[in-house]
Amino acid sequence: MIFSNPAFIRRRGRMTKAQLGALGRLDQFLMDPAVDAKAVFNRRAPTAIEIGFGMGQALVHFAGCHPEWNCIGVDVYRPGIGSLILQCEAQNVGNVRIVEADAVSVLERLEDNSIELMMVFFPDPWPKKRHHKRRLITRTFGKLATRKLKVGGLIRLATDWVPYAETIDEALKDNPGLQGGVSERWSFRPETKFEERARRLRHHVQDFCYTKVG
């Protein structure tokens, strides 16, 4: 797969022995985004996708609470991928599949009007001005995401970086296919260690919710 999006940066991180072992079982979770989800999961069901799932807590929580959904996680952070596999195994969550690739390239390959829920929690804010081009949420991303959502489908986002929150609002507010904006914290988004740290640092955590209207 070609990683042409400037937002794509493969992060490195320390991997535990358990996470490394879990990566040996990655093939059991991998999916090709060009393949229809109902073929991958062997059923027709509503589909949720989390872009940049980090260590996987939010995706596992949602999938565990919604076993009737097909859930897809997209990330390239290998310790996080290993963590997601371990959590799925420990909690007996069987409705999660993983795409190890750049988010934009994945969305481009997904079928249009195929997603009921898209989640993007705490994307890298790239705070330095010269790095702003690497931010995931842009008007172009919003148009692409809208194409992939079914009518009535949702995009849920969260960030702890105020300038990025302003960027998200600016990028999505004029999208004619979406309605929504700033929202209350979503009950199905568990508070992770990352968010706890953000709150300790007195960062303001802002949630957004947008609905595809046509």
Query: In this structure, how many other beta carbons lie within 10 angstroms of the beta carbon of residue 33?
Result: 20
Structure tokens at 87: 């959590």
Question: Sheet of 70-74: strands edge to edge?
Answer: 96-99, 70-74, 47-51, 115-121, 149-159, 206-212, 178-183
Burial class of residue 211 (count of CB atoms within 10 Å of its CB; 0-12, 13-18, 19+): middle
* Amino acid in position 79: P
Alpha helices in 37-188 (DSSP H): 37-41, 57-65, 78-90, 103-109, 139-148, 162-172
**Active-site residue numbers?**
124
Nearest to 156 by CA among 48, 56, 70, 74: 48
